Amino acid sequence: MHEQPPNSDLDIKQFDPSLYNEDLAPLKPQARTWGAFEIFNVWSNDIQSLFGYTLAASLFLTYGLNGWAVMAAIILAGVIVMYLVNLTGKPSVKYGIPFPVMVRASMGVRGANLPAMLRAIVGIFWYGVQTYFASTAVALLITAFIGAGSGTTFLGLSGVAWVSFVIVWLFQIAIFWQGIERIKHFLNLAGPLVYVVMVVLMGIVWYQAGDELLPAIGTIFSGSGEQNVGAVGAFLAIVGTMVAYFAAVVINFGDFTRFVKTERQMKLGNLLGLPLNVAFFSFIALIITAGTLVLFGEALTNPADIVERVDSLPLTIIAALTFFAATVGINLVANFIPPAYDLANLFPSKISFKVGGLITAVIAFFVGAFWISFISQIGIPGFVNALGAIVAPFYGIIVVDYYLIKRQQLDIQALFSSKPGSTYYYTNGWNSRALIAFGGAALFSLSTVLVPALSSLGGYGWLIGAGLGGAFYFGLMRQFKAAPTFTQQKAS
């Protein structure tokens, strides 16, 4: 029997204005323009940032683990994340809804504001920080042409640094303001460009290192790192670290998959963009890191430091533009689009997707401007990391709710309804059982950040927190004799 498209019979006139605007509305299949290539580039931009490269390179040096085992751990993390995002992405492909609307099914039409607001705070903070890091690439470019300037600083930033920061801040707003299609085009350009430049940099380093490169790789692969946590512990820590790195996008992956034409294209994009992409990019990081050990006598993990040591103006120009594009790319993917939707979800009648993005940019400007002089000095990053850990249980709650409780069937009309007794109204718009499940799991995931005795779990605390959130929610909802579900209503 032919199944009707899930959004074919919606009555938008019945949507509650306090829950609806055009940006949050279900996107019809004919309006979607993303395919596997676009999803691949979401991950390319997420991985290929300055921080992403530094993380991959440092993992080979830190844990005292054989390099081949490090590669295996990184690839395993990519496979795990691929399966995680396939689960969170699928409902948004089916119904065309972003994360803040999707989470209404489990948390309630009003309760969804809690995960949306927490996710927005994390995104806004890191958006400001990444804007600063992207500006360092622009400063590298400007300095290559006109020098470093007088050395006078304000709030820890030189004149060149301030100009670079404002340029990046305005550039990101300009792209965002032109809509999701312009963002898509930027990501599609930035992802492949970064790969080309990283391969060129690898080739240059490999050529200059010559016959000494392979012995240097052997040194890195000797497992002579500084930490001694045991082979299994080191392996799990690397897997957990890489999974946690992607965690910001894992929960709200529906913000992107709502634009994808089919589930098959989403899964193909995730396969290419995660385990395969992570493996190849980590290989590049390994070769370059080994090459720097030969050329400079130390293993450099920051691409900007490598370019500076190579001392080639053409390479500096190309690399600066590439680092800029890569960091802006991850900023748009992980830290700009999600808060824009999350803020729009708070007051849909007053805040659109674009206005939410503008609010994100304005607040983040001050985060980035005060990063060097103030914020990085007082432990606020630890506070935001704690918020990130708190968000982890929502993943388990969302997945368990959609696949085990709702059986992959949502009443889209009810997601935009605040009428008492409607499917997702629960109690005054909040699902108290979801709140209890979240609170119990969040206590654990938060403790991995704040309690020294549990610090060893910090790397994979996110995974455990997400698992506990789902388990608690499933147990509580199984005890909940609610009104008939949407599936039961349809059957009757």
432, 136 contact by CB (below 8 A): no
* pLDDT at residue 485 in the model: 46
pLDDT at 378: 65
Q: Which residues contact 184 (CB under 8 A, 6 or more apart)?
A: 33, 34, 38, 259
pLDDT at 290: 83
CA distances from 360 to 38, 113, 162, 365, 457 (A): 24, 16, 19, 9, 32
Kindly state the tokens that stand for 459: 């790397």
Q: Are 44 and 191 in contact (CB under 8 A)?
A: yes
Q: Could you tell me the pTM of the whole model?
A: 0.85
Whether residue 21 contacts residue 163, with contact meaning beta carbons closer than 8 Å, is answered with no
pLDDT score at 406? 94
Question: Which structure tokens are listed for 173?
Answer: 């707003």
Residue-level pLDDT at 157 = 85
In Å, how far are 60, 64, 152, 263, 370 from 234, measured between CA atoms? 11, 8, 44, 35, 35
Those residues with Cβ within 8 angstroms of residue 393's Cβ, 6 or more apart along the chain or in another chain = 437, 438, 441, 442, 445, 465, 466, 468, 469, 470, 472
Residue whose entry in the numeric block shows the structure tokens 């748009």: 332
Q: What sign has the CA pseudo-torsion 361, 91, 248, 427?
A: positive
Tell me, what's the pLDDT at 223?
A: 57
Q: For residue 440, what pLDDT is reported?
A: 94
Q: What is the pLDDT of residue 486?
A: 44
Burial class (CB in 10 A: 0-12, 13-18, 19+), 263: middle
CA angle 262, 187, 138 (to 5 degrees): 165
Per-residue confidence of the chain (492 residues) as pLDDT tens digits? 334 456 556 777 778 888 999 899 999 888 899 999 999 988 988 887 777 777 788 887 777 777 778 888 989 999 999 999 999 999 999 999 999 999 999 999 999 999 999 889 888 988 888 888 888 888 888 887 777 666 777 878 888 889 999 999 999 999 988 888 888 888 888 888 878 888 888 888 888 888 888 787 776 766 554 455 577 888 888 888 888 788 878 998 999 999 999 999 999 999 999 999 988 888 888 888 888 888 888 777 777 677 777 767 777 787 778 878 888 888 888 888 899 999 999 889 889 989 999 999 999 999 888 887 777 776 665 665 676 778 889 999 999 999 999 999 999 999 999 999 999 999 999 999 999 999 999 998 888 877 878 777 766 778 888 999 999 999 999 886 544 444 444 433
The reported pLDDT for the residue numbered 119 is 87
Q: How far apart are CA 433 and CA 472, in angstroms?
A: 9
Q: What is the tens place of the pLDDT at every residue in 56-97? A: 888 877 777 777 788 889 899 999 999 999 999 999 999 999
Instruction: Give me the pLDDT at residue 484, please.
Output: 46
Q: Which CATH architecture describes the domain 23-373?
A: Orthogonal Bundle (1.10)
